[in-house]
Every structure is written in C-alpha cells, then in structure tokens.
Amino acid sequence: MQSEGIVLIGKGRAEKAFQRRSIELPELKDDEVLIESEAFGLNYADVMARNGLYRDAPPKPCVLGYELVGKVVQIGKNVDEALLDKRVLAFTRFGGYGKHAITKSNALTVIHEIPAEEAMALCTQAVTAYYMAEYVSTIRKGEMVLIHAAAGGVGTILIQLAKMKGAFVIAKVGSDEKGELAKKIGADLFINYKKGDYITQIQHALPGKKMDVIFNPVAGSTYKKDFSILAAGARIFLYGGSEMAGGKYGILSTLNFLRKMGVLLPVALMMSSKNILGVNMLRIADDKPEVLQTCLEAVVDLYEKKKLIPQIGGIFSVDEMAIAHNQLEDGQTSGKLTIKW
C-alpha cells in the first residue's frame, strides 16, 4: 500500500539526510499487523545510522525507526482479531518513521490512554534498560552503579530501576543541569565529565570505592577507564558506541575507536572475576522476540503502578524532524524525544 515516511537518503546532518516522501509498503504476512502511526521516537542508534556507522541499518533510501504509537488498522490471517482498532505501543525492525508501519503481532502491547510521548519513553530505551538491569543481571541492594549518559532516555530509566533495588547510583552527565535532573529522579551523585576526568572525580568523591555495575553506551576510550574501577564480581554493560559518532575521518576514526578499546583475553576476565556484557536489542528482537515483549509489558506495568516516571526530552512535529535529530546528536537533550504526525 502507499503511505509516507521520513526517508533516509544520505549521510550527514539531518536536514540534508532526510526527506519526507511517499513510500510503498508490502503485503502483510500472516503474523503481522499494520499500524497507523500517531507518533514515533528517536534513539541514538538512528543518529549512528544517519552517519553511516550502524552496520545493521538497511541500505538507503530507507525508513529508520524502532518504535511507534498508533492504531492497528489491518492484521494478518493468523493474528487475533481483538487487536484490530487497538491503540498500541510497538517495536519495528526499522520502518518506525513511517505514517504506517508493519510489525509482528508479538512486538507490541495495548496501551489505551497513555500519552504518546510517555509511551515512547517506555519502548526501545526503557526496554533496553529493563533488559540489562532486570532481565540479564539484577542489580542488588547496596551495589555501586555508574550510569553513562545518565540524563538520556535509557539512563533516566536505569537510574530509577537501580534505585528501586537500593543501589548507590552515580550519574555521568555532560552538564550540571543534566546532573540536577539525574539527582531529581534518584541519583546519589552526579559527575560532569566536561569538568575533568570522570574517573578522577569518582575517586575523589568516593575514595577507595569500586563499581559493581556500569552501564556504558559510549565505549571507545571510556571502556578501559571503566574496567579500571570494576570490583571483583562486577559487570560492564556495553550497549552503544556513541564516541565513534564524532569521528571525522571515516575508517581511520573507526580504527582509532577500536584501538582505544584494546584487546582483552577471556582468561583475564576469569582471573579478575569481572564481566563484560554486550547488548544489541536488534539481535534480541531477531532471535528472542518473546524476551522483548516480556520486557515491554514489564515496563508498562511499572509505569501504570507509578514506579517509573518517563522523562520527556521534547515533542516535535514531523516537520521538525531535522531539528530533533540534530539536537539528539549534539547532546542538547535529556530524556526521550518524540515526533508526532
């Protein structure tokens, strides 16, 4: 069927890389649904894809986007008819920037009256946070937790999940304003990395303390630093490579990013009793979609019980897409960015 979407046509700044245009959607498969979009969310992986740094992105021209809120308007023959006309929060394997999007019937949950901008914060980013902090490895009471990009969509959810467990939370942020936001939602301490080396600041504030859990979407030079302050039995979650996004020299920047991370032999992990966990939610979605749905339903339940408060970073119209994308890339935002049709 014919629809429209925000199509990625090139690399670089968002105003040149995206174009609003007509798109053609394929016929539904038996286990799929067609959703008419009300709104969709932005994620940093979208910025990486726009800059040609996300290997899983489809070839251009393409429609990015992992999530949307909308109404189910058509279903495949094996899908429960009760889903028709329901308002849902859904994952997509790309295509979320479309006015209509196709996804699997087990990649969504019915949300009724939740505001779109709050629902968007409960999708990719909250599910990523919940998967790491609850599903893979539960945070324990009294553990020392360091959260990079703590004022972002994933970071703000991680703060709340960690505090629910009774952890001591250190929020690494890029401004004092973001630090105050992190403290408002529960962080015990914030570190502004633009005011000096964050490891030195942590050691000054908490002499002799080691970290039990670190959530890191930055990687690059931060990985070795994080490893240096891990306690025995501790774990680092690596779920992004935003440090690579600022590279100006193509393959040379990528190689330098990898050089900074270095090489680590498995025996070193065994001997030090430290753990490194890589997280790519697209791979989880491909291999274990039921895990994604379980985590999605869990975060919506926490929201409905008022245990999670989504942090809204901005609501933009579809014609303001480039503004929102560039603000996300430039680190000017906190919380979740939502685009409304």
The reply to whether 111 falls in a domain is yes
Let me know whether 105 and 138 are in one domain.
no
Q: What is the pLDDT of residue 109?
A: 94
* Closest CA relative to residue 261, chosen from 286, 291, 241, 282: 241
Q: What is the pLDDT of residue 249?
A: 45
The reply to whether 287 falls in a domain is no
The reply to whether 296 falls in a domain is no
Let me know whether 276 and 324 are in one domain.
no
Let me know whether 269 and 326 are in one domain.
no
| Strand ranges (E), the chain | 2-8, 18-24, 32-41, 67-75, 87-91, 100-104, 108-110, 144-147, 168-173, 189-192, 211-216, 230-238, 275-278, 312-317, 336-340
Let me know whether 109 and 171 are in one domain.
no
Residue 246 is encoded by which pair of tokens?
């600022």
The reply to whether 293 falls in a domain is no
Q: Tell me the mean pLDDT per 10 residues along the chain, length 341.
A: 97 96 97 98 93 90 97 97 97 96 95 94 95 95 97 95 98 96 97 97 96 92 91 93 58 57 73 89 89 94 95 95 95 92 96
- Map residue 100 onto helix, strand or coil: strand
Let me know whether 154 and 213 are in one domain.
yes
pTM, full prediction: 0.87
Let me know whether 139 and 272 are in one domain.
yes
Let me know whether 28 and 168 are in one domain.
no
> For residue 330, what are the CA distances in angstroms to 144, 220, 320, 325?
29, 18, 16, 9
The reply to whether 277 falls in a domain is yes
The reply to whether 298 falls in a domain is no
Domain count, the chain: 2
Let me know whether 109 and 40 are in one domain.
yes
The separation between CA 118 and the C-alpha centre of its own chain, rounded to angstroms, equals: 15
Residue 192 is encoded by which pair of tokens?
């502004």
Let me know whether 96 and 164 are in one domain.
no
Domain hosting 270: range is 125-282
Q: What is the pLDDT of residue 267?
A: 77
Let me know whether 272 and 142 are in one domain.
yes
310 near 335, Cβ under 8 Å?
Answer: yes
Angle at 53 between CA 49 and CA 57, to 5 degrees: 45
Give 155's contacts (C-beta < 8 A, 6+ positions apart): 129, 147, 148, 149, 171, 182, 215
* Closest CA relative to residue 9, chosen from 54, 66, 59: 59
CATH of the domain at 176: 3.40.50.720
Let me know whether 100 and 134 are in one domain.
no
Let me know whether 101 and 196 are in one domain.
no
What is d(CA 327, CA 121) in angstroms, rounded to the nearest whole number?
17
CATH of the domain at 327: 3.90.180.10
